[in-house]
Structure 1
């Protein structure tokens, strides 16, 4: 009996001890928030959550990048689609394009980008022959007008071009004869010394200063080979030549030619136009007429400092792709009508006369630029022009200049029109604007040129006393009755796609 009692007591004491120990553990564990066991458990959970969040973030980022790439690929494909809904993605005036642009699916244009030029100018191979002409094989120039009637009391540099002559000049034939400036007595004469010098120039880099509103900038990074191969010609009027003699170092060579650094000065006596901006278009557009022996030319506006070797420029923009005419795309506009709107807002020429030019173009069938056109843009950045002097390119330059002579001096408005009228016969390589900005360093004008006619807002201002604001040697197409009902023409609606444009 005693033994059973002792065993029962021992069991009860044992159970009581276990319960006491268990109670002490629970009390100690429940109050100790920072116990090692509790900390180890919480740390493990936090590590799992952190790793999971990082994985989720990584997967989300990858999916977002894939979504952006797919959207961009879809955007590129849709630009080529014939379906109106998809092609609307490329329409800058459409809501869909604006939405994509807002969320960042439309890449922003760069200001500068690398130019894929050859590394060494000394290794560039020169063409052994000129590009053959298959459409226009022989081009000559009109030097005397049949119709001697004119609104001007003196000969016109660009000639007295009638609307019918203008229309006929766009009809391409193997043998062509067109107006192309340099009418006898019209101005822009070169001295015999300068004519003799440019006869040797086969490769030309040209620029020009008129009305003394720029100072010369010396090209940099020019190889010895290019210095020997190219003529660097700066065309000036007498006012600019006097300014250079007073404010720059002008040296004279043994033959009597004037130089500013690498630039050989070419003086154009008797400016052909009243408007300096229009005078500047003579060497810019009619380079082949000023320098008839040149096979290749690069035009660069005087406010720019060329920083790329000209031989590398010809190799990149002409020879590599077998092009003969290259010019940059405008940074902000593709549509001529949008460019005209910008010209009016920035007071680049009389607003009603810009509208008149656009009405003529619209009446003659010029559509606003769209992806359906063969060119990437209708509006160039005309400060740099790279060309081979083929018969077709020379014809294009003549027709382009005739528009500048007849209508407003805004050459960016007429470039795309002439390209359109030639209906694919004239081929132009329009390269990216960011490459254009990498060809030069831009310098400010000494002063901004401004004429009264640029501020005109209505035709009433050009009547009475305002008659004096009309140019006496250019723009006669703006005052010559047009053989069509321009009053019925409604210009395309312009939606401004750029604050800077």
Structure 2
């Protein structure tokens, strides 16, 4: 003891130990978890209830561990039941046609690998593909004002009668409505106009990857250039359709067009005089009518703007079309397979006017639409509800006809294309029993994603910490949002370094933080 009292080195040693205590030895993740625990204990005396964002649409569950779910399940279940009861009362449905299904366990969804070829160098377009149905399609380009009609409004989709609509389902030489219908001279143009230079460019494209952003509804996601071969960069057209409002926002975000109108691989094409006030419906024009916009194209790939192309387009075409001998490929929905369920979900979430949904759904039932039966070995499709964010198609007559028919349903009824997919396909098949349409509807993940899962900002850590606190007495909802992660995840550069607390009077995180929708889709990927 006396020796230790005489040693002058005792103080420095304590200093070093003190430094060790405060040295940031814990990882960033550990500090965040510690902070979350401190918040939990500090809020507990005030009666706060923890609610996972699993209860906000069920879109985040695959990023939360089972142990975490175990601790918060009780409050989540009670909260979800309250929300569903309120939504059922507000939406006012529950008739004979649709009954709310009982609560079921939410399945977890993860992206999966698919067997794309490694290189495009040795890809050869098959010459012995099935003999796809052959016929000739022409399109209505102008409608004259009917005699005796005083008020006549030109419409982009035209004014097809029910008789013309019925005839258009026949796979034979015909002229049908398929958008881009102009009125008589003197009437205003019906919309979706391009500059002549852009129109000339698009007329040369034979293989196309396209997407769109209208009404400044999203931000630009560039294809992953290192995943795209030099062949595709030279021979595939990558076209992003925007309106002038979105173009201005792109410039503010740093996406400046070069002399050729390119941002990365995207050729940005401005669509003027948009045909619909509903931007979702306007987006269906490039989604379904690529064979009209790109008249020389033989293949096209459609990506919703929430997706990022993360694989070579020629490898995608080879895998989904050439390898399966298909002329149209689309993914089935990751959760729902029956139109009855999709109608219920759209009404429950107020995705569209409920009266319009009922009118469309009742019309389809009267024309033969039946419930999807997964136990039926003869069911014509493995799912009646698609995930329409991704479409790969050959521009064959049957593929073009189906695309026109599907667009016409969106033009006539609601813009919710998942409601009309099965009806359109089944009616086309029923009308032409001896003329096959080779549709590949798959449940596999597609190599395109809203955000690269390999980002240095750990998406799993983020999802585990994305919790909401429901303050019932004050009517406030507090969301912990990693606001600094949004750009980092997009650019795949830096780790998350800060977190933001957003206080709102709504339960919907989407309303308080617009980029939340991005994480929802990033977690699901494509299915």
**Which of 340, 345, 363 is 2:343 aligned to?**
340
**Which of 342, 355, 360 is 1:357 aligned to?**
360
Q: CA deviation at 1:132?
A: 4.9
Residue 165 of structure 2 corresponds to residue 155 of structure 1? no
Q: Given that residues 233 and 263 in structure 1 are in contact (C-alpha distance below 8 angstroms), is that contact kept between their aligned partners in structure 2? A: yes
SS at match of 2:450: strand
Q: Given that residues 138 and 174 in structure 2 are in contact (C-alpha distance below 8 angstroms), is that contact kept between their aligned partners in structure 1? A: yes
Alignment partner, residue 177 of structure 1: 175
Alignment partner, residue 471 of structure 2: none
SS at match of 1:140: strand
Residue 319 of structure 2 corresponds to residue 316 of structure 1? yes
**Equivalent residues in 2 for 1:43-442, closer than 5 Å:** 110-127=109-126, 132-134=131-133, 136-145=134-143, 148=146, 154-173=153-172, 175-184=173-182, 185-220=189-224, 221-253=227-259, 257-370=260-373, 371=376, 372-423=378-429, 425-432=436-443, 434-436=444-446, 438-442=447-451
Q: Given that residues 419 and 426 in structure 1 are in contact (C-alpha distance below 8 angstroms), is that contact kept between their aligned partners in structure 2? A: no
Tell me the number of residue pairs that the alignment of Structure 1 and Structure 2 aligns.
337
Whole-Å Cα distance in 2 between the matches of residues 160 and 230 of structure 1? 35
Q: Given that residues 156 and 180 in structure 2 are in contact (C-alpha distance below 8 angstroms), is that contact kept between their aligned partners in structure 1? A: yes
Whole-Å Cα distance in 1 between the matches of residues 284 and 292 of structure 2? 12
Whole-Å Cα distance in 2 between the matches of residues 283 and 299 of structure 1? 8
Please give the TM-score of this superposition, normalised by the length of structure 2: 0.60
Whole-Å Cα distance in 2 between the matches of residues 151 and 386 of structure 1? 43
Whole-Å Cα distance in 2 between the matches of residues 345 and 430 of structure 1? 26
SS at match of 1:312: helix
Q: Given that residues 131 and 390 in structure 1 are in contact (C-alpha distance below 8 angstroms), is that contact kept between their aligned partners in structure 2? A: no
Q: Given that residues 211 and 241 in structure 2 are in contact (C-alpha distance below 8 angstroms), is that contact kept between their aligned partners in structure 1? A: yes
Please give the TM-score of this superposition, normalised by the length of structure 1: 0.63
Whole-Å Cα distance in 1 between the matches of residues 450 and 411 of structure 2? 30
SS at match of 1:265: strand
Encode CA deviations 1:134-164: one digit per residue, 9 max, x unaligned: 3x41000012236638897531000012122
Q: Given that residues 361 and 417 in structure 1 are in contact (C-alpha distance below 8 angstroms), is that contact kept between their aligned partners in structure 2? A: yes
Encode CA deviations 1:6-43: one digit per residue, 9 max, x unaligned: xxxxxxxxxxxxxxxxxxxxxxxxxxxxxxxxxxxxxx
Whole-Å Cα distance in 1 between the matches of residues 289 and 321 of structure 2? 19
Encode CA deviations 1:32-89: one digit per residue, 9 max, x unaligned: xxxxxxxxxxxxxxxxxxxxxxxxxxxxxxxxxxxxxxxxxxxxxxxxxxxxxxxxxx
Encode CA deviations 1:357-408: one digit per residue, 9 max, x unaligned: 0000000011111234211111110000000000110011000000000000
Alignment partner, residue 3 of structure 2: none
Q: Given that residues 171 and 398 in structure 2 are in contact (C-alpha distance below 8 angstroms), is that contact kept between their aligned partners in structure 1? A: no
Specify every segment of 5 or more residues in structure 1 that has no aligned partner in the other structure, as ranges. 1-92, 447-501
Worse overlay, 110-119 or 313-322: 110-119
SS at match of 2:165: helix
Q: 1:189 to 1:288 in 2, by over 3 A?
A: same
Q: CA RMSD in A?
A: 2.6
Q: CA deviation at 1:226?
A: 1.4
| Bigger Rg over Cα | 1
Whole-Å Cα distance in 2 between the matches of residues 202 and 427 of structure 1? 21
Q: CA deviation at 1:171?
A: 2.7
Q: Choose between structure 1 and 2: higher helix proportion.
A: 1
Q: CA deviation at 1:123?
A: 2.2
Q: Given that residues 129 and 325 in structure 2 are in contact (C-alpha distance below 8 angstroms), is that contact kept between their aligned partners in structure 1? A: no
Whole-Å Cα distance in 1 between the matches of residues 442 and 358 of structure 2? 29
Q: Given that residues 145 and 152 in structure 2 are in contact (C-alpha distance below 8 angstroms), is that contact kept between their aligned partners in structure 1? A: no
Whole-Å Cα distance in 2 between the matches of residues 205 and 396 of structure 1? 19
Whole-Å Cα distance in 2 between the matches of residues 314 and 200 of structure 1? 19
SS at match of 1:298: strand
Q: 1:351 to 1:207 in 2, by over 3 A?
A: same
Q: CA deviation at 1:230?
A: 0.7
Q: 1:131 to 1:205 in 2, by over 3 A?
A: farther
Q: Given that residues 135 and 171 in structure 2 are in contact (C-alpha distance below 8 angstroms), is that contact kept between their aligned partners in structure 1? A: no
